[in-house]
Amino acid sequence: MGSFAFSAKPRALPEEISMHRADTSLDEAWVIDAYRANFRYVWALLGRLGVPPGDVEDVVQEVFLVLHRRRGEFRNESSVRTWLHGIAVRKARRHRERQRRRQHEPLTPEREPSTHTSVEAQVSSKQSLQLVDRLLAELPDEQREVFVLSDLSGIRCPEISVLLGVKLNTVYSRLRLARKCLRSRYSALVSEPTRREDQQRGAHHERS
């Protein structure tokens, strides 16, 4: 899995948004500003939510298309970024579901694994980011969503409860389980090289 930092550069606006730019309304200008301000953040968020690097760009476009279509529903009761969180979570969830279905279908030329390397994967090679991606991939989807929104995006649990449409106690429970699992897996990964070295030294002594 590639690592997702905040270095992606905004691509061209989705056609549905940009096609009217010569006669830009206030609503369309608002969406364009939101796109420019939040593109990198949404890109990274989708990666943390399990969208593969080669698919992130397309899903980012889908997120902002939803924002464009639903602009009239925004009432300034929360920030644009908070609204984008909810859209991104739902889009990532649907994308993961489609991926799972495809894994059970025969490969066709149209569904061969993508060899596209995203900008994120090219520019971000830090081991810490790769480790985070690896650990997040091992979490159940429900725990992963809550952990990403809480610990990586800084959203409070009551707000996450509203975004995901689940009870607050459920959010706390999922977050607690996610943190416990990540701590356990991190400890195992960190101790693995030491354990391997001990095994190698033991094998060497036995041969001696």
Can you spell out the DSSP letters for 51-108?
--HHHHHHHHHHHHHHHHHTGGG--SSS-HHHHHHHHHHHHHHHHHHHHHHHHTS---
What is the band of 28 on the pLDDT scale with cuts at 50, 70, 90? confident
pLDDT beyond 80 at 164:
yes
Tell me which residue of 96, 69, 67, 94 sits closest to 79, measured CA to CA: 67
Four-residue CA torsion sign, 53, 117, 1, 136: negative
pLDDT of residue 135: 86
pLDDT at 92 over 60: yes
pLDDT digits (tens, 9 = 90+) for 127-162: 666 777 788 888 999 999 999 999 888 899 999 998
Q: Which CATH architecture has domain 1-124?
A: Orthogonal Bundle (1.10)
Whole-angstrom distance, CA of residue 51 vs CA of residue 55: 6
Which CATH fold topology does 138-208 show? Arc Repressor Mutant, subunit A (1.10.10)
Q: Domain limits of the chain?
A: 1-124, 138-208
pLDDT score, position 11 = 59
Q: What is the pLDDT of residue 68?
A: 86
Tens digit of each residue's pLDDT (9 = 90 or more) over 94-135: 988 887 777 655 444 433 334 344 434 433 445 666 777 788
The model's confidence at residue 2, banded by pLDDT at 50, 70 and 90, is very low
